Amino acid sequence: MNTVQMTKAKTRVLDTAQNLFNQHGYNSVSMRDIADGLGMKQSSLYYHVPDGKEQLYVEVTKRCLEAHFTGITDAISRFNDLETQLQAISRWFFSRPALHLFNMMEHDMAELSSENQHYLKELAYQSLFMPLIEAFEDAVARDEIRFVDPEQFAGMFLTIIEGVSFAHRNRHSMLPLDTMADQMIDVLMNGLRPQETAE
């Protein structure tokens, strides 16, 4: 994954754009909104991003997904059991602005050219799903959980993360984020524990 060493100014542009795209979605954010956030005129933005809005979104999303790949794989490598790994991954997610993964993949990316769409969807799969799938596979191999389709439960875990973030943003959620996530992970792990074909 290339890291071309970005100028400070470019980084600031990407940061501002990322915040806005994340909060409101691709179509709801105008170049003027981003320029306003940077304190410059809309046309000045094109000095930093000559290729326009779509390319800006692609760059922002690429950087974001690559950061998540690093964060997730790091979290996994620090521990040897699935439950602790999942807790660590949840902490990584909560330390960053919410991804709005489903919205990103189904609504934002639908606005892009089919090449960009395909590129970013594949990158999302490699960055977010693959490390989790491996973690679930390893846990099955260690007999820590019963056999399940790893892809299915990698997806389930990501939806839980998104759901917990959502609940925390929208509801008078009594509990801290971390506690909510741990409770969810506890139920999930408890539900996945190997069984002695009881009853």
Partner DNA sequence: GTCTATAAAGGGATAGAC
Partner DNA sequence: GTCTATCCCTTTATAGAC
Q: Which residues bind DNA (CB under 7 A)?
A: 7, 9, 29-33, 35, 40-44, 46-48, 50, 52-54
Instruction: Please tell me the distance from the alpha carbon of residue 62 to that of residue 68, in angstroms, as a whole number.
Output: 10
Instruction: Please tell me the distance from the alpha carbon of residue 192 to that of residue 188, in angstroms, as a whole number.
Output: 6
How many other C-beta atoms are found inside a 10 Å radius of the C-beta of residue 69? 18
User: Is the Cβ of residue 92 or residue 153 nearer to a second copy in the bound state?
Assistant: 153
Residues lying near a second copy in the complex (CB under 8 A) are found at: 24-25, 27-28, 100, 102-103, 105-107, 110-111, 121, 148-149, 151-153, 155-156, 158-160, 162-163, 166-167, 169-171, 174-175, 180, 183-184, 186-192
Q: Considering the complex, what minimum distance in angstroms separates the CB of residue 25 from DNA?
A: 12
Residue 82 CA neighbour count, 13 Å, CB half: 27
For the chain, what is the radius of gyration of the CA atoms? 19
Instruction: Please tell me the distance from the alpha carbon of residue 133 to that of residue 2, in angstroms, as a whole number.
Output: 24
Tell me if 145 sits within 8 A of 64, measured CB to CB. no
Q: Considering the complex, what minimum distance in angstroms separates the CB of residue 51 from a second copy?
A: 22
Q: Which helix (H) or strand (E) holds 62?
A: helix 52-77
Sequential DSSP letters for 120-162 = HHHHHIIIIIHHHHHHHHHHHHTTSS----HHHHHHHHHHHHH
User: Is the Cβ of residue 29 or residue 161 nearer to DNA in the bound state?
Assistant: 29
Tell me if 171 sits within 8 A of 127, measured CB to CB. no
Q: Considering the complex, what minimum distance in angstroms separates the CB of residue 107 from DNA?
A: 15
Among a second copy, DNA, none, residue 11 binds (CB under 5-8 Å by kind): none
Among DNA, a second copy, none, residue 189 binds (CB under 5-8 Å by kind): a second copy
Among a second copy, DNA, none, residue 62 binds (CB under 5-8 Å by kind): none
Among a second copy, DNA, none, residue 54 binds (CB under 5-8 Å by kind): DNA
Among DNA, a second copy, none, residue 103 binds (CB under 5-8 Å by kind): a second copy
Q: Considering the complex, what minimum distance in angstroms separates the CB of residue 28 from DNA?
A: 8
Q: Considering the complex, what minimum distance in angstroms separates the CB of residue 75 from DNA?
A: 35
